[in-house]
Amino acid sequence: MCTLSYLDWLAAGQGELKEADTARAQNPINMSGYIVGALVPIAFTLLLRNSKKVKKRGVPVDVGGEPGYAIRNSQFPSPVETAWEGISTLAELFEQACKLHYHKRLLGTRKLISREVKVPEDGRSFEKLHLGEYEWLTYGKAFEAVCNFASGMVQLCHRKEERVAIFADTREEWFIALQACFRRNVTVVTIYASLGEEALCRSLNEGVMMTHGNVLATVSAVMTIVPGLGSKDVYLAYLPLAHILELVAENLISAVGGVIGYGTPLTLTDTSSKIKAGTKGDATVLSPTVMTAVPAILDRVRDGVRKKVDAKGGLSKKLFDLAYSRRLSAINGCWFGAWGLEKFLWDFFVFKKVRAILGGHIRFLLSGGAPLSADTQRFISICLGAPIGQGYGLTETCAGATFSEVDDTSVGRVGSSLPCSFIKLIDWPEGGYLTSDSPMPRGEIVVGGPSVTLGYFKNEEKTKEVYKVDERIMRWFYTGDIGQFHADGCLEIIDRKKDIVKLQHGEYVSLGKVEAALSISPYVDNIMLHADPFHSYCVALVVASQHAVEDWASKQGVAFTNFADLSEKEETIKEVYSSLGQIAKKSRFEKFEIPAKIKLLSTPWTPESGLVTAALKIKREAIRKAFSDDLAELYTS
């Protein structure tokens, strides 16, 4: 009703404009006045935009070590080690927070009301959960539990500097065990709960050596970037705590007096696969203000929203498309985009339902673990009405390297250097990337500063290969990623040394770059490009998106018995391949970069299968081994 009234108001305005046009034709003096009145603000806006200086987010800095082009955060002349005076360990930081916020909520877990196991016709059983409200531990009670756990470790004869592995899904007990180990100065080995026996043994003897100082530096740096982070913030924790991104995030939230509510990727929203129909997901119940996410999850949120909008069709779809295009124009800097009252109306009538998916109160979203596509970044940012801070870091740098600032509306970049890091580009002549390149310096990304870890456990050879200490005693990590600096000092990841394959005729293909572009196809759930140096073209394994492909089949009248059968059909392969071809053309890929043939797969790649990491990044070698016959067939058929 209200939306239609707003549209009626627009229509009425158009009628008044027609009457005004007749009057202007009769009075040319008034007409010229209107023209001047319209042109003055436009000219003023253009002059203001042209005179506006580019904000320097990163500035050049003189560093030691291998020659290159280095930048630092423009606000911090030297790397930040700690934001809290007198605090040098995570145990000290947690104890301080618990004393300051003793009676405030800290850790929350949802009560399990019921559990159901359903077995459909295909015989595959799946679990549905009915979860209640969050039950909370205060900072004081959490600190008491940590102290008791630490005392128990003494009783069990755990000595200082021993190693303890935490093998569990993300939950409040994980966090308590972590803090107890810190309190006893016991080294923690983080292990993903989805690992099999072989990978588990490897993790116990290898995963990176971090210090409290490494993590503290990253926590301190991120705190300076997220605006107003404090005791009013509510954080939804669902990513694996074994991942450095989640470990840093939870230590940061507890340090500033925030609230941490635990969930899982399978119970995140009202429509998540483990949530019983008619009951609420974690985000709806918790109403978080801050979240971290990996690109694969944000891609799924985007695809889910688009699917619902397309399914409704009609006026709803037209309004959504109009609202999105108007807000996109504004974000891109257009003076005629949706600002002020119009923005408020679109937010209230169109995007409010989208925001409800994640609780309706998200004010900041941090994306890390893998590159986030520009399309997804724009879509999620507009629909949620909150900035997405895209970060870049590795386990070896304790997740600390770069981070995009809140007022940076650009896409495809990962921001400037975090206050705890220096970022340096060094020449890679073999790949054609040089710091002397124009218009932007390019090269391998090297990270230096207090967040850079000690090296690899019991692997001195590998440590010496990628870790260097310069003459100024600064530690540097050679990432193997290729980047370029923009004029404002922000970094863009453009390639990876290990992902570049030389084809038979000498052309170089960047596997990751092509995969990132093609993954935005609605038919793609996951994709791996494969290039054989003994052939002149590349091929791809495509995990098909079941909903999108089945919807297409239904509309086209394509008969199928199950999804595996549909994925094998020639017309399905042609449709998916056509979609990839259109994206490749739009991305201006060379012919040799576009997969000549594809294999459609119907079974998703999951961490449990060992084909993707817990952050949902593909494990290239594992996939090649698992689908070696399919890849060989693509080259011989």
DSSP letters spanning 602-614: -SPP-GGGTSB-T
User: Rounded to whole angstroms, how far apart are CA atoms 92 and 89?
Assistant: 5
Per-residue pLDDT reduced to its tens digit, 234-272: 999 999 998 899 999 999 999 999 999 999 988 999 988
Residue (of 415, 419, 437, 420) closest to 428 by Cα position = 437
Nearest CA-CA partner of 295 in 254, 352, 245, 248? 245
Confidence of residue 204 (pLDDT cuts 50, 70, 90): confident
- Domain chopping of the chain, boundaries: 58-80+413-496, 500-636
Greatest alpha-carbon pair distance for the chain in Å reads: 97
Six-digit token string for 78: 């030297």
Q: Are the beta carbons of 619 and 611 closer than 8 angstroms? A: yes
What's the pLDDT score for residue 51?
A: 44
**In this structure, which amino acid lies at residue 606?**
T
Cα(632)–Cα(621) distance, rounded to whole angstroms?
Answer: 15
String of b and e for 138-156 (b: at least 16 CB within 10 Å)?
Answer: bbebbbebbeebbeebeee
Q: For 258, what's the count of Cα atoms within 13 Å in the CB-facing half-sphere?
A: 23
pLDDT of residue 16: 40
pTM of the model: 0.79
Here the tokens at position 98 are: 């618990």
Assign 122 a pLDDT band (cuts: 50, 70, 90).
low
Residue 460 pLDDT level (bands cut at 50, 70, 90) = very high
- pLDDT of 474 higher than 90: yes
Residues 605-637 pLDDT 10s: 988 888 888 777 888 888 999 999 999 999 988
Query: Hey, which CATH number is domain 500-636, 2.130.10.10, 3.30.300.30, 3.40.50.2300, 1.10.10.60?
Result: 3.30.300.30
What's the confidence (pLDDT) of residue 512?
A: 87
| Residue 234, both tokens | 């509510």
Sheet holding 364-367, edge to edge: 126-138, 105-118, 259-262, 234-237, 290-293, 364-367, 388-392, 402-403, 416-417
> Are 58-80+413-496 and 500-636 the same fold in CATH?
no
Helices (runs of H) and strands (runs of E) counted in the chain: 21, 23
Using a 10 angstrom Cβ sphere, with 0-12 exposed, 13-18 middle and 19 or more buried, the burial of residue 461 is exposed
Closest CA to 104 of 141, 133, 75, 66: 141
What's the pLDDT at 508? 81
| Statement: residue 13 has pLDDT above 60 | no
User: Taking 70 as the threshold, does the pLDDT of residue 312 lie above it?
Assistant: yes
Distance, C-alpha 627 to centroid of its chain: 27
Residue 123's pLDDT is: 66
> Can you identify the CATH homologous superfamily of domain 58-80+413-496?
Luciferase; Domain 3 (2.30.38.10)
Element (H, E) at 483: strand 475-485
| Distance in angstroms (rounded) separating the CA atoms of residues 420 and 411 | 23
In the structure, what pLDDT confidence band is assigned to residue 31 with cuts at 50, 70 and 90?
very low
pLDDT at 21 over 60: no
Give me the mean pLDDT over the 163-189 stretch.
Answer: 92
**How far from the centroid of its chain's Cα atoms is residue 607's Cα?**
17
Which structure tokens are listed for 176? Answer: 């308590």
In this structure, are residues 447 and 214 in contact, taking their beta carbons and an 8 Å threshold?
Answer: no
